[in-house]
Amino acid sequence: MIVLGIETSCDETAAAVVRDDRAILSNIVFSQLEEHRPYGGVVPEIAARSHLVHIDDIVRRAMAESGIDFAALDGVAATGGPGLIGGVLVGMMTAKAIALVHDLPLLAVNHLEAHALTARLTDDLRFPYLLLLVSGGHCQLLAVEGPGAYSLYGATRDDAVGEAFDKTAKLLGLPYPGGPAVEQAAKRGNAERFAFPRPMRGRAGCDFSFSGLKTAVARTIQALPNPAADTADAAASFQAAVADILVDRTGNAIGRFRREHGDGTLVVAGGVAANATLRARLAALADAESFACAAPPPALCTDNAAMVAWAGIERLRLGLIDDLDFAPRPRWPLDDAPVAA
Ligand code: KG4
Ligand code: ZN
């Protein structure tokens, strides 16, 4: 089974071809970073137009690099949400056109499900597993029981963790996107310099909160006589606070998962899972709890189309095919993923 995947939900225009034996035949990601950088964040209308300009070429390149032609595909998958609606429309319309012309099944993939299932592409994991999903728009802990079968343990009550990284970067005068910039700066910094709060730490349950941390970072930086001199220390102290929060909340989730399913695997996925410090702290937590730990390689944590193609394969195997009139969903919670079209 071979599936073409398309991802256009944010600021990456991406296409990939993946086979059901977990071989990635091609994986092309065009980042629109340079187009959004002057604005310090993703501008939806610019993103939508840029997807439109690049999508045909990116799909052509993914197909060429895979060495197969459209006739050899078994399906075409595209992100159907959640995300910026203009971009999702571009990817979904492209996928529908390919499906129609080549008479292929269409798979409308939930972007979060694509992140959630990536560990099965990279690590051949069995269901169920515990997932910490940390991206620019989401921060959740879930038990992943199968495609379309998720039970939500907890989620952020305010900001997503990637958003907290991006806002902190802005406050520190670091370039967009904030996550990688904060991680780089933190390498040179003293993580104990600033005692930032760890909201929710020690509380029962698996919910998160990052707004208090963000406010504390803002206040601290505004009070500094020369913020530029303290950027590295602030970045390191912020990152340490995030790590402590994630470890505390995930520790509770491991306890709940163990009660429900026994020992298992902790999977860390989503763009923020590219962060080496956070990965190491979560791996150490899993180890201490006798859980296995899996995190896809960083390039498959940040947005890409190989994960969309793989989620398409998982759904195609189960016959979860979508109609050509599928309507993109700007909001699409994972525990609400339709099991059948
Ligand atoms: O999954 P993703 O690529 O896009 C969404 O679906 O949101 O995640 C993007 C988020 C951004 O907030 C970005 O700053 C963050 O992931 N990110 C990181 C790192 N790389 C990307 N955060 C912390 N450390 C990183 N190395
Ligand atoms: Zn994502």
- Quote the ligand 1 centre to 268 CA distance (angstroms): 13
Q: How far apart are CA 266 and CA 253, in angstroms?
A: 10
Band (pLDDT 50/70/90 cuts) for residue 335 is confident
The answer to whether 322 and 110 are in contact (CB under 8 A) is no
Q: Tell me which residue has its CA closest to atom 8 in ligand 1.
A: 271
Phi and psi, residue 226, nearest 5°: -140, 80
Which residue type is seen at 133?
L
Half-sphere exposure of 260 (CA within 13 A, CB side): 16
Q: Give alpha helix (H) positions in the chain.
A: 33-36, 44-66, 85-102, 111-123, 161-171, 178-186, 211-222, 231-261, 276-288, 298-301, 306-317
Pairing of strands 139-146, 149-155: antiparallel
Find the mean pLDDT for residues 141-163. 97
Averaged pLDDT score across all residues of the chain: 96
In the chain, what percentage of residues exceed pLDDT 90?
95
pLDDT band at 82 (very low <50, low <70, confident <90, very high): very high
- Which two tokens mark 193? 């310099």
Cβ neighbors of 60 (< 8 A, separation 6 or more) are none
| Any ligand 1 atom below 6 A from CB of 11 | no
- Looking at the CA of residue 169, tell me the nearest atom of ligand 1: 14
166 touches ligand 1 (CB under 6 Å): yes
Establish whether residue 164 lines the binding site of ligand 1, counting it when its CB lies within 6 angstroms of any ligand atom.
no
- Name which of 287, 274, 284, 275 is nearest 236 in CA terms: 275
Ligand 1 site, residue 181, Cβ cutoff 6 A: no
Q: What percent of the chain has pLDDT over 70?
A: 99
3-state secondary structure of 148: coil
Q: Which atom of ligand 1 is nearest to the CA of 178?
A: 14
Over the stretch 90-127, which tens digit does the pLDDT of each residue have? Answer: 999 999 999 999 999 999 999 999 999 999 999 999 99
Lowest mean pLDDT among 32-41, 102-111, 210-219, 322-331: 32-41
CA proximity to 195, closest of 245, 235, 237: 237
* 262 alpha carbon – ligand 1 mean position (Å): 31
Q: State the pLDDT at residue 119.
A: 97
Q: Is 270 in the pocket of ligand 1 (CB under 6 A)?
A: yes
What is the gyration radius of the CA atoms in the chain, in angstroms?
20
- Structure token digits, residue 174: 């670091």
Compute the average pLDDT of residues 227-252.
97
pLDDT score of 338 more than 80: no
Ligand 1 pocket test: which of 210, 272, 279 has the largest number of ligand atoms within 8 Å of its C-beta? Answer: 272
DSSP-based three-state secondary structure for 338: coil
Q: What is the pLDDT of residue 236?
A: 98
Interval between CA 182 and ligand 1 midpoint (Å): 11
Q: What is the mean pLDDT of residues 135-139?
A: 94
CA of 97 to the centre of ligand 1 (A): 30
Ligand 1 touching residue 12 (CB < 6 A):
no
The atom number, within ligand 1, closest to the CA of 115 reads: 1
Q: Give dist(CA 46, CA 11) in Å, integer.
A: 9
Pick the atom of ligand 1 nearest to 9's CA.
Answer: 6
The enclosing H or E element of 336 equals: none
* Mean pLDDT, range 254-273, rounded to an integer: 98
Is pLDDT of 339 > 80? Answer: no
176: confidence class by pLDDT, cuts 50, 70, 90: confident
178 lines ligand 1 (CB under 6 A): yes
Q: Which of 95, 104, 98, 121 is nearest to 20 (CA)?
A: 121
What local confidence, expressed as pLDDT, does residue 340 receive? 42
171-193 burial string, b = 16+ CB within 10 Å, else e?
bbebebbbbbbbbebbeebebee
Q: Which ligand is nearest to the CA of 29?
A: 1
Confidence of residue 218 (pLDDT cuts 50, 70, 90): very high
Nearest residue (CA) to ligand 1, atom 2: 271
Compute the 3-state secondary structure of the chain and give helix, strand, coil in percent, each to the nearest 5.
50, 20, 30
Instruction: State which ligand 1 atom lies nearest to the alpha carbon of 111.
Output: 6
Q: How far apart are CA 187 and CA 202, in angstroms?
A: 27
